[in-house]
Structure 1
Amino acid sequence: MGWKTDWRSFYYETAEEPEDISLDPGRTALLVIDIQNTYLEVPDDPAEAARWQPFFDRMNDTVIPNTRALQDWARGQGIEVIHARIACLKEDGRDRSLSQKKPGFNYLLLPKDREDSQIVDAVGPMDDEIVVTKTTDSALTGTNLRMVLHNMGIERVICAGIFTDQCVSSTVRSLADESFDVLVIEDCCAAATQELHEHELRVINMIYCHVMSADEVKSL
């Protein structure tokens, strides 16, 4: 068992194992997506807070510490660490994409300077690390990240963050469509529920990315 055979959907149950991966630090970036203060705010309503508690537990106990450790590892390897966050440039959010204006969970009005739109301190940028601010789900579609990656000679992007089935998946698909090699680190990601998280990993694995654990990527 391992990343070569785990997380396979119906489409790839009988596929050959992928080849070994060798990371070239100078051509690799770690992209951390949307780990922002707003997503760690516990709802005032007790029932809603209880409904979201498993997500908060995964974020605080697994995703944030694992992501910070992954960032530290990447920095030590000479791998570029990049950050993406959702934030609107206008206070009224007129610049947001339609997906962030729809009513319900995806309605996001996060002005760029407000505290809830900021990246969680534990996984925040250091020194001159790049932060891209997006007004749509995909960090590639909603920013100049595509050009930045090409300018730096990046060919492989390691992805972590939230939500697995929304902005992470959207970013991964965009990167794959632009012919970047993508790795998704499953224990550095979360969706609202573990079921949604695992389902999306199986959907995107092998066609858009390779899904692996933090320990597996560090051992490449």
Structure 2
Amino acid sequence: MSQPLPKRNEPFRAGETALLVVDMQRVWLEPGADPGHPERGPEHYFYRQTSSQTIPNQERLLAAARANGVEVIHTIIQSLTEDGRDRSLDHKLTPIHIAPSLPEGLPVPSLAPVGDEIMLPKTSSGIFNSTNVDYVLKNLGVRYLVVVGIMTDQCVDMTVRDGADRGYLVTCVSDACAAATQERHDIALKAFGGYCWVTDTDTVVARFKALGKAA
């Protein structure tokens, strides 16, 4: 007899759950640091949204994950070479290039890796396309993948869809993600919502804490 299929929102399991933080780098999150958008000042929607909601919610999620045995993985956009010759064609055409020596290419301090948390550099929108994250997650025994980060309609979108296609039960924490505008954020969530469980920070923090109590 075949086993019943899981539900996208079924409870996380201890030892099988990971929090994936996507592209929370200084270059994108500090006003004036993004060479692609010099016109965005501190009052731009994106900076106000990330500083007031996205980053604080991710800080809460990271604290809950670390305290309750949830694996934490970070990914950043970063070339392997100083001149970016290893970048994807898309990143060359855009152009996007974050050299490995650029301090602003690292995560904002409050979201930086702690201890031996894994951080994977990528040169594509989707982490599954230009890193060995699938191999790493499977080695870690992860089945439940919780995704947060920027941009909701770009790198987060591809991470969710690709993760679902590879057999992970994906959760997207909507208020711990952000896009350049509220409209783009909302449209993206509606578009990829069929690939994941879309929920909020309070719900996921509670689930992480439940894992610790069950251990």
Pairwise TM-score range, normalised by the shorter structure: 0.7 to 0.9
Cα distance between partner residues in 2 of 1:19 and 1:209 = 6
Distance 1:140 1:190 in 2: 20
2:24–2:150 Cα contact (<8 Å) kept? yes
Q: Does 1:83 align with 2:41?
A: no
2:13 corresponds to which of 14, 21, 24: 24
Partner residue in 2 for 1:35: 24
1:202 is paired with a residue whose SS is helix
- Checking the alignment, whether the CA contact within 8 Å between 2:61 and 2:204 is kept in structure 1 is no
Asked if 2 retains the 8 angstrom alpha-carbon contact of 1:34 and 1:162, the reply is yes
Question: For residues 86-131 of structure 1, what are the alpha-carbon distances to aligned partners after superposition, in whole Å with 9 as ceiling and x for unaligned?
Answer: 000111111111221223xxx2110112112111111010000011
Secondary structure at 1:31 match in 2: strand
Partners in 2 of 1:140 and 1:96 — Cα distance? 15
RMSD: 2.1
- What are the residue-to-residue correspondences of 1:4-23 with 2, within 5 Å? 21-23=10-12
- 1 CA distance for matches of 2:142 and 2:10? 15
For residues 71 and 198 of structure 2, the distance between their equivalents in structure 1, rounded to whole angstroms, comes to 20
Using the alignment, how far apart are the partners of 2:113 and 2:205 within structure 1?
Answer: 20
Please name the residue that 1:4 is paired with: none
Give the count of matched residue pairs: 199
Kindly report which structure 2 residues correspond to 1:25-174, keeping only aligned pairs within 5 A, or say none: 25-43=14-32, 48-50=39-41, 53-103=44-94, 107-174=95-162
Q: Secondary structure at 2:146's aligned position in 1?
A: strand
- Unmatched 5+ stretches in structure 1: 1-17
Structure 2 unpaired stretches of 5+: 1-6, 208-215
**Against the structure 1 CA distance between its residues 204 and 197, is the aligned structure 2 distance closer, same or farther, given a 3 Å change threshold?**
same
Structure 1 segments of 4+ aligned residues over 6 angstroms from their partners: 44-47
Of 210-219 and 147-156, the range deviating more from structure 2: 210-219
Q: Specify which of 186, 196, 199 is matched with residue 209 of structure 1.
A: 196
SS in 2 for 1:26: coil
Which range moved further: 122-131 or 93-102? 93-102
**Other-structure match for 2:4:** none
Distance 1:120 1:211, change over 3 A: same
2:48 partner letter: D
Q: Percent identity?
A: 38
SS of alignment partner, residue 98 of structure 2: coil
Q: What TM-score results when the alignment is normalised by the length of structure 1?
A: 0.85
Q: Take 2:121 and 2:128, find their aligned partners in 1: how far apart are those partners?
A: 10
List per-residue Cα deviations over 1:149-189 (Å, max 9, x = no partner): 00111001000000000011111111111010000001110
Q: Tell me how far 1:52 sits from its aligned partner.
A: 6.7
For 1:88, the aligned partner's letter is: S
TM-score, structure 2 normalization: 0.87
